[in-house]
A and B are shown apart, each in its own frame.
Chain A
C-alpha cells in the first residue's frame, strides 16, 4: 500500500500575533508542521504499519519548508516530494489543489490523505478540490480510518453522530486532529530522516507556471486582517455560592429572559 500525504508548513499559531497596517506580525518566525497534516501523517503510518507499504509526504512551499518535510520523515514517512514554490503570496486553496493534482496525476497511490483544514487559514477546501480534480471518492473530517479487503473504512464526524463510510481505493480522506496523537520523532527517526530521499519538483516539471496558476485558478484575494471584535463587558459576581446562584437565576429569568 502506498499512501500519499499532503502536508503543509504553517506559522506557529500559538505565538502571539499583532496586526500592523493590515498585515500580520509575529514575534517568532517559527514555522511548523501543520497539526492536521501531522494527524494525517500519523494515520498513514499506522495504516502502513498494519498492512505494509509506505508513506510519501508531498509539500508545496519554499526552501524553508524542507525542514517540515524532514519532520514528517523523522516521524516515519519513507520519502518526500517538495514542490518548490518560493513565493506563495497570492495563492489560495484552489491554487494548492491545482498544483497537488498535477503531481498526483503523474504519481501512484492507494490513498491520498490531507488535513481537514490547516491551522493558519482554517479553510478546509483543498482536500475536496483535490478529490474533484483527481476524480476520487472522498470523505472529510475523518476521526478514524481502517483498511480491509481493498477498501478504506472512514469514520467521519458528521453534524449529528459519526458516519462510517466505505471508500473504494484509490480515495482521498481529510483528517481531523481528533483522529490520533501524532508521534514525536525519536532521535533515531531524526537521524534516519536525513538519509531519506526528498525529490524536488518545480511547477515547470508539472506543466504549470506560477502566472498561469494565479491567472487561471486563483479566485480569491486576501485583503488584510483585523482584530476579532470583543463582546460588551458583562457583570461579574463573587461571594457566597447560594447568593451567587440566586442573583444569576433572577437575572436569567427577569433581565435576559432566557429561562
Chain B
C-alpha cells in the first residue's frame, strides 16, 4: 500500500507545530484514500521526536540520524528524503512551508519528476488528483492548481489546519544514511541571530506586530514592552523593516513570514493585503490604529480606534496585572 509522507521540521527538541498541522491533515487524506501515513524526521538525534509524532497517528516514522542535519544545509536533506522517496514510493510528500522546506522542494521535485504545489492554503487528494489553493498576485487572489502526477509534493502554509492528536502505534524505522560531508560544495559558516529572532515567528503562540504608526524608537519600546508582558514574539510590517526600525527577519506578509498564532496584535498597521496574507490565519486578531477606516479592522476580532502611544502603556500595564493573577 502506498503512503503519504510528511517531512517533519523539528529543532532544539521540539517538533514544529506547522508540521503537526500537516501531519494531522494528511492523516485525514490518507484515511480517505486508503493510504498509509508516514513521517520522516532528519536530525542528529531523531529518536527524541518519535514520541510526540506517534501521538498524531502515523503508521511509520522514518528516522534518519546524522550530525550533518544540524548544519542548515539543503544538500543532505534532499539526499536523505530522496532515498526515502526512492525506497518507499509515496503517493504524496507534504511539508510545512518553512524556509528550509521552501529551499529543498524545487530541487527534490525536479529530481523525482514530481508535481510541485508550493505554499498552499489548502489541498485535497482525490484518487488521481491533488488540488490546491494558493495565494498569488501579491495574495490578492487564490489560484486553484492541480496535479495528476503519480508523485506530488505539497508545502502548506502555517495555520492552514489544526493539529489534532490521534494516538496510535507507530513503527519506527531507522533509515541508514551514509553521507560524505567532504564532498559538499556548500558549507555553513555561521548562524547569525538577532535579539528578536531567537524564536521562530511562524511558530509563536502570541505575536505583537508593529507597523508605520510606531513612528520611532519610543514606539518600538512600547511594542517591546507589550510583547514582554505577553511573552510574545515581535513581528513587523514591510514599512517598518524597510525604514530600519525593525530587522528584515521580522517581516510578516506575503514576502516575509506567515504566522498563525492564537493571538495577534497589529499595532499601527494599516492592513495592506500583502501583510494580511501573512497573518490572516491567526485565531484572534487585535488591531490598534488611529484611522477608523484602516483595512486592518476588516480582519480584526477586536479593533481599537485610537492613539497607540496612549493605548499601549495602559494595555501593557493591565496585561501584566491580569497575568500576575
Contacts and interface: CB of A to CB of B under 8 A. Distances in A.
Contacts of A37: none
A225 B144 contact: yes
Interface residues of B, number: 97
Contacts of B202: 159
Interface stretch (B55-63, B135-143, B161-169): B135-143
Contact of A122 (B135, B248, B262): B135
Name the residue in B119, B137, B138 with the highest tally of chain A Cβ atoms < 10 Å from its Cβ.
Answer: B137
Contact of B138 (A119, A129, A239): A119
B81 interface: no
A235 B285 CA distance: 11
A227 B142 contact: yes
Interface stretch (A10-18, A78-86, A192-200, A206-214): A10-18
Say what secondary structure dominates the interface of chain B.
Answer: mixed
B95 to A, nearest CB: 12
B185 A248 contact: no
Interface in A140-194: 140-141, 143, 153, 155-168, 171, 176-178
Say what secondary structure dominates the interface of chain A.
Answer: mixed
Contacts of A222: 143-145
Contacts of A120: 136-137
Nearest to A19: B141
Given A123-B119, A220-B115, A252 B284 contact: yes
Interface residues of A, number: 81
Contacts of B104: 128
A238 interface: yes
Interface string B104-123: 11111111011111110000
A94 interface: yes
A11 B73 CA distance: 34
Contact of A219 (B11, B147, B307): B147
Interface of A: 11, 13-14, 17, 19, 24, 93-94, 97, 119-133, 137-141, 143, 153, 155-168, 171, 176-178, 219-228, 230-231, 233-239, 241-242, 244-246, 248-249, 251-253, 256, 258-259
15 contacts: A132-B108, A159-B9, A164-B192, A178-B255, A219-B147, A226-B141, A228-B140, A228-B142, A234-B301, A236-B292, A236-B304, A237-B303, A237-B304, A237-B305, A259-B263
